[in-house]
Amino acid sequence: MYVQANIHGGEVEGKEALQALLRDLLFQEQYNVLDSIVVVAVPIYNADGNERLGPQERNRASQNGPPLIGQRANADSLDLNRDYVKAEAPETRASLAMFAAWEPDVFVDLHTTNGSYHGYALTYSPSLNPAALVTGPFTRDTLLPELRRRLRLIHRTEVFDYGNFVSQDSVDRGWFTYDHRPRFGTNYVGLRGRIGVLSEAYSHDPFARRVGATYAFVYELLSLVAENGDDILDLSNEAD
């Protein structure tokens, strides 16, 4: 299982939640998911964007803190989550080399939403690429519904399918999500026949609550992957 955060430098809670989760798992004395699965963790994918600190009001106007955050693009002004096919950025090429070497069965990408006001601490999505014929339905119909149920029961955290309102002043025009193109990381891994999961913490929540929701999401997802490891390996083999 591969988990990355901070592909957009200003979307900061993913890197904090992932590091905190790794710390807690490593220092637990009892058995945990690290005894069952291999976890590759990249808390800061966009290192240059992360370091280009500026006021939150300038770098991400619709986000509720913290006061100083990085920028969305990398040092070459490229959006790294639009680069998985053209592979123009060195970060992308290094990531594709990692995929070739490790072939992770599950890919998780931690983000923050961009504006819509809604009632959920976090929204999520499976890979939307139509080539994800085997892993897509399992992620959408089995993995994510159970994850949503556990977050509600165990953490009292409500989550929902990722998207935004078509118009902020009316719900009548609908709710839309991102498209199927594999330039997005979660869609790219679906094209490769692997499970992709997008996590989007709610940008208008306080920073600490966003970190907590992301922590709980990844924690429960790790547990589900560990519990369903044999089935997930079978899906990867079937996709191949």
> Does pLDDT of 171 surpass 80?
no
How high is the pLDDT of residue 166? 84
Number of helices (H) and strands (E) in the chain: give both, helices first. 9, 10
pTM score, two decimals? 0.96
Identity at 47, one-letter amino acid code: A
Report the distance separating Cα 198 and Cα 211, nearest Å.
15
> Does pLDDT of 168 surpass 90?
no
> Does pLDDT of 169 surpass 80?
no
Report the distance separating Cα 96 and Cα 16, nearest Å.
24
Predicted confidence (pLDDT) per residue in 7-59, tens digit = 999 999 999 999 999 999 999 999 999 999 999 999 999 999 999 999 999 99
> Does pLDDT of 170 surpass 80?
no
How high is the pLDDT of residue 124? 98
Residues 123, 109 contacting (CB under 8 angstroms): no
CA angle (68 as vertex; 198, 78 as ends), nearest 5: 50
| 193 Rama sector, left if φ>0, alpha if ψ -120 to 50, beta otherwise | left
Q: Residue 218's pLDDT band (boundaries 50, 70, 90)?
A: very high
Q: What is the mean pLDDT of residues 112-131?
A: 94
> Does pLDDT of 88 surpass 70?
yes
Report the distance separating Cα 111 and Cα 43, nearest Å.
11
Report the distance separating Cα 208 and Cα 210, nearest Å.
5
